[in-house]
Each structure stands twice: as structure tokens, then as C-alpha cells.
Structure 1
Amino acid sequence: MSEPVLDVRGVVKVFGDNAVLRGVDLAVGEHQVVALIGGSGSGKSTLLRCASLLETVDDGQVLLDGEDVTDPRIDADQVRRRMGVVFQAYNLFPHLSVLDNVTLAPTVVHGRPKAEVRDEAMALLTRIGLAEKAGEYPDRLSGGQQQRVAIVRALAVRPRVLLLDEITSALDPELVGEVLAVVREVAAQGMTIVMATHEMGFARQVADTVAFLDGGVVLESGPPQQVLGDPVEARTRQFLSRVIDAGRL
């Protein structure tokens, strides 16, 4: 079996007296889509922040292509350049156009030629149906359009792995579908993705693996049909029953 692109080993993260992650293990293979599910406070977002080195881990390791990126001697900025991260908040620069938001990191941080980057950015924007918005500023876009631009901006740096943290939770329900459609297309193109989500139907359709976090550990992990359809753990069944009641499965 080939080496995982992202390999989280025994990661612990403590805030004050609160152990948010208590020894999390998660291996993500090339071209895999892993959906992280679990209740509020289960550790999904913290796990993604630790994986992207936005939080330092208190114990354990995060390996990217076999390299221990939690080693203090590692240049964290260099590691982050190999990851694309999208959060609930779009975090677009309001004073830059859509095109400039997408091309900023590849040109300034990665030092790639502007013309090449602009051509790639326009191709990405065309793929998600926003080419005509390239010259607009973010405040002229809907929430769903801004989130789609945020995904394109993350893809523009040609990341090894795309980390998505509840990217639809701040959107009106009618905008959720257009954002998930972009993720579905990106997954179909072979991008390696780790996605924290409450959209269980989407996880069932797109994910290769679903990992249920509870109390800071991965309590259950496996194919979507098993974890979502026939879970082993009582806590997983309890969580999913609440999700079904909320109409998200």
C-alpha cells in the first residue's frame, strides 16, 4: 500500500484544562476523500487546524508525504504552501478582485509567472461558473459565490491536500448545493480532501472514508455505507439519529 499523503499519528491538543484532541490517528491516501463528522466540540476543526499547522500539536505527529511536519525544525510556512485550507468564513481580501484573490498566493508566495497563474486561475473560475465575476470585488458576490472563490484560491496553489472546515455551515440552505458541487467536481478530478462536514448525504455520496470524532478521538472510521448505514459504536448511532431528526442525512 502506498504511503499516505497525510498521516496523523496520536495527535493531542490541549487548551488550558480542556483536551480537545486525545490521541487522534487518521491516514489519508492519495486521491482519497475523508469526511470528518461529529458533534460540536468533538475536535473536527481543531484536527484540521493541527494538520495544517495553524495550531501546534502537544503530542503526536503529522506527516505530509512521509515527512514529519510537526518537527520544530521544519519551516511551517513551507509546509502550509503544500496545503489548501478553506474555512467557514471565506477570508477573501475585500480590496482585491476575485482574480487577484486567486492569483495572489501562487505569484507572491510561490513565485510563479503571473501570466501562467492568471491563465490557470481563469480556467478554474470557468470550471466553477464564475469567470464573469473575475473582475468583481468579494462584497458584490453571494455567500455561495465567495465560498466557491475561496475553494478556487486554495486550489490555485496546487496543494497536495485540500482541508475543508465546515465550508457550508455559514451559508443559506439554497447556496449549500452550489458549493458542494464544486467539492464534488474537485474530488472527481482526484484531489486528496479532508472535509469536516454536517452534510451526511454528501459524505455518503462523495467520501471514501467517514471518520466519526467524539470527545477528541476517532471513535469509528470506515466506508460511508458502514459508518453511516450500519455503525458499530453506540455513540455513532446516537449522533446519527440526531442528524436524521435534523434532516441532514
Structure 2
Amino acid sequence: MKTINQTNRRRFLNKLIKGAAFGTLGVLFTNKLAASNNTNNLANIFAMWTHGSEGKMEGVFHDGKDAVTFGDKLLSKIRTPLTAGYLRGITKGTKFPGNTISIPGEAAVTMVSTSGGAIFTIWDSGTKAKSKNGAFWVHFTIPTPVIANSVRVKVSKILVKCASTNINFYISDVELWDANVRIYNKENQKLWGPDTMHAFPFGSPRTVKYGLCISLKIVGERVSADQILEISGVGVDLIA
């Protein structure tokens, strides 16, 4: 009888040990799944943007001479920003010193910062009010969280929200800079037309080391002061 009880006890303990081992494995496996799910759920995919009005044109300062005529043309021609209610600071006889640069061929570029973004136009800074050719760069600094949750951030996509009234007034080049190192560029684009979001995904995400800047090259081909290009915002998608 004693032998039978000892045998049964041994069988019970063996089953208990096996069950405990399986239970421990199950707990470990469950924890592993939970950790995996947490990693997926907490991938920290986020975006950073800046408003179009924050753009800075690269070029030689223009004193705004003859901009009064340009301002009157702008008021009489562009309707969408006016009806949208975010172009509010331009009145008859307005000049634009501080927001205007010179480009070759007696031409100038003016950037008007509004609540809806930045409005750009190329105009004749001479006396004949001719259509003009020109190209210029605009730079947008992006708020850059270089490290998030103790992980160095990577950038995976550039986004540009813009519009244009003329097929010959467009964004041709898109660049992304990390401090003084260019980490992405796309040339020979033609971003124009109705208000659209343009996306430029990377082949593989790039690690961010310092601070990001999106640089856009804007081109006008025989455009006049009543043609505009608007940039309402630019941004990046980030992964941490």
C-alpha cells in the first residue's frame, strides 16, 4: 500500500512539474508576444511640420521699389486667398520691403506671409510690367526631436502642401538637409495646380543627427505678377 501511494505521489509530482514547466513556458511566451505587440504599438511613428509662412527666401534683398504697382495687381487678381479670409494685411499702395528679393532680368520675387501660408509671385521690377523668368530657393526649418524615448529618430518621408495658378509657376526641386548635410533630394519636379499634398518617401529611413531643413526650388517661366504659388505647410514623417 505504501508502495502504491509513493508511486501515485511520484506520478502526481511529475505531472505537477511538467504542468509548471508548461505554465512557465506559456507565461514567457505570452510575455514575449506582449513585448512584441508593445513594440509594434509603440513604434513612435509621428510627424513634424512647419507652417508655410515660416519660409525664408534665399537671395539678395530688394527694397520694394515699384512694389506699389505689384500690390495693386495682386489685390485685383488673386481671389482665393482673399475669399478664404487669410490674406488681410495688403491694402492699396502697400509695399513689401523685407519680403522681396531680386532675381536676374529686372525681376523680383515677393513672399507674402499669411495665416494660410506663404504666397509667392514673380514680377517686373523694371518699368514695363513684362512677364518674367526666374528661380529661387525657399528654406523651411523643421522642429526636430533628434532623440525620442532614448532612441535616435529616423526620417522616412517629406511632405509638401502647395498650390499654383499657372503650370509655368511650380516647385522643381525638393531637398532635405540635416544641419549642413543634404540627406535627400528630388530634382526636375513640377508641383503646381490645385491645393495638393505631395509626398516624397525615402527608400530607407535616414537617421537624424542635428536639425532638419526642407529646401524648395521655385521656378517661374514667363509668369506675371497676377500668377501666384502658395505653400501652406511642409513636414516630415519620423520613426523612433
TM-score by length of 1: 0.26
Normalized per residue, the structure richer in helix is 1
Normalized per residue, the structure richer in strand is 2
Larger Rg: 2
TM-score by length of 2: 0.26
